[in-house]
Amino acid sequence: MATSLIVKPLSPAIGAEVGGVDLAKPPDEATFSAIHAAWMRHLVLLFRDQKLDDPGLERFSARFGALDRKPLYTDEVVDTTTSDYVCVISNVKIDDKPIGDLGDGESVWHTDMSYNEFPPLGAALHALEVPPGGGETGFTNMYLAYETLPPVLKRQVETLQCKHDATRNSAGGIRRGMSATSDPRTSPGAVHPMVRTHPVTGRNALYLGRRHNAYIVGLSLEESEALLNEIWAHATQPQFSWHHSWRVGDVLMWDNSCVMHRRNAFDPAARRVMHRTQIKGDKPVFQPLTAANLTVRA
Ligand code: OGA
Ligand code: MN
């Protein structure tokens, strides 16, 4: 019932907890609309105490759009799930082989799978096992990062495109079939505008992907590195972000077009098992605000 949905912001910048909903039961239209509206407003939603098996996680996330296939794991992962759409994030090993990706170290700020031409619009991550401490996941509001750029820098990034490296994941592991490269100009990956207009809200956000091997098309490598460093230093300021301490049963959904995320390291002796689905998204575009489209967005 939409009327019983409780939405409580979790930080000044980003994130809200949604109470009063059991994700294992298909939400009715009114509930779904209320969840979707909260997602667009708060960018990251937390649902506590959920009990979802993989088909349940797929069913819930597929309400937001067709699911995207999981990303390429690093070579050593032995995935024991049967679904092409459920990605395992875990440090747990069976016979010395990890059952999922990202290990137990830090995962750096990133947005998921932006090395693809059509990056996923969002993801849902369900905590099945969590360590007693550490492993917190941080989220940062890229609308805010864009809106607070110094005006000259803002105008500049609006004209630029960035290459999003496909070789490494956010924990530094090399993806299956990729080889290490050190020249961002030639490494494989999609090129996207650095400012992205959100397909639903029409708001603009900085769209950065990840720092490693990023390259601003058309600049010299030195210019690209210097400008990326400046933009990343701005975008990753703590006032735009919030970190979540996980409990078993948490489901977190984030919007990949206007949010970056990262993860803290945790004790390698502890177990952390998370299952993730991702929803197909559009090709990132930037639509400058003009008199012609102002009324559409109002
Ligand atoms: C992800 C991811 C971080 C985490 O699932 O895309 O980056 O906290 N996860 O597990
Ligand atoms: Mn991620």
Q: Which of 82 and 239 is assigned the larger pLDDT? A: 239
| pLDDT 10s digits, 40-62 | 999 999 999 999 999 999 999 99
pLDDT at 23 (0 to 100): 97
108 pLDDT tier (thresholds 50, 70, 90):
very high
297 C-beta neighbours (distance < 10 Å), count: 11
Q: What is the largest CA-CA distance in the chain?
A: 61
Q: What number is the average pLDDT over the span 143-149?
A: 98
| Nearest ligand 1 atom to alpha carbon 112 | 6
Q: Which of 173 and 42 is assigned the larger pLDDT? A: 42
Q: What number is the average pLDDT over the span 227-241?
A: 98
Question: Residues lining ligand 2 (ion), CB within 5 A?
Answer: 112
In 3D space, the residue among 84, 88, 86, 83 whose CA is nearest the CA of residue 99 turns out to be: 88
Task: Out of 73, 85, 137, 242, give the residue to mutate to test ligand 1, the one with the largest number of ligand atoms within 8 Å of its CB.
Answer: 137
Average model confidence (pLDDT) for the chain? 94
pLDDT at 175 (0 to 100): 86
| Nearest ligand 1 atom to alpha carbon 170 | 7
64-93 burial, b at 16+ Cβ within 10 Å, e below that, comes to: beebbebbbbbeebebeeebebbbbbbbee
Residues of the chain above pLDDT 90, percent: 84
| Nearest ligand 1 atom to alpha carbon 137 | 8
Q: How far is CA 216 from the centre of its chain?
A: 21
Q: Which residues line ligand 1 (CB under 6 A)?
A: 89, 102, 107, 112, 123, 125, 137, 170, 261, 263, 274, 276
CA of 254 to the centre of ligand 2 (A): 10
| Nearest ligand 1 atom to alpha carbon 274 | 10
| pLDDT 10s digits, 183-226 | 899 989 999 999 999 999 999 999 999 999 999 999 999 999 99
pLDDT at 292 (0 to 100): 63
Residue nearest to atom 3 of ligand 1 (CA): 263
pLDDT at 296 (0 to 100): 52
Is residue 196 within 8 A of residue 244, CB to CB? The reply is no
Residue nearest to atom 6 of ligand 1 (CA): 112
Q: 1 pLDDT exceeds 60? A: no
Residues of the chain above pLDDT 70, percent: 96
CA of 25 to the centre of ligand 2 (A): 26
Q: What number is the average pLDDT over the span 253-269?
A: 98
Residue nearest to atom 10 of ligand 1 (CA): 89
Q: What number is the average pLDDT over the span 172-180?
A: 85
pLDDT at 298 (0 to 100): 45
pLDDT at 172 (0 to 100): 85
Q: 160 pLDDT exceeds 50? A: yes
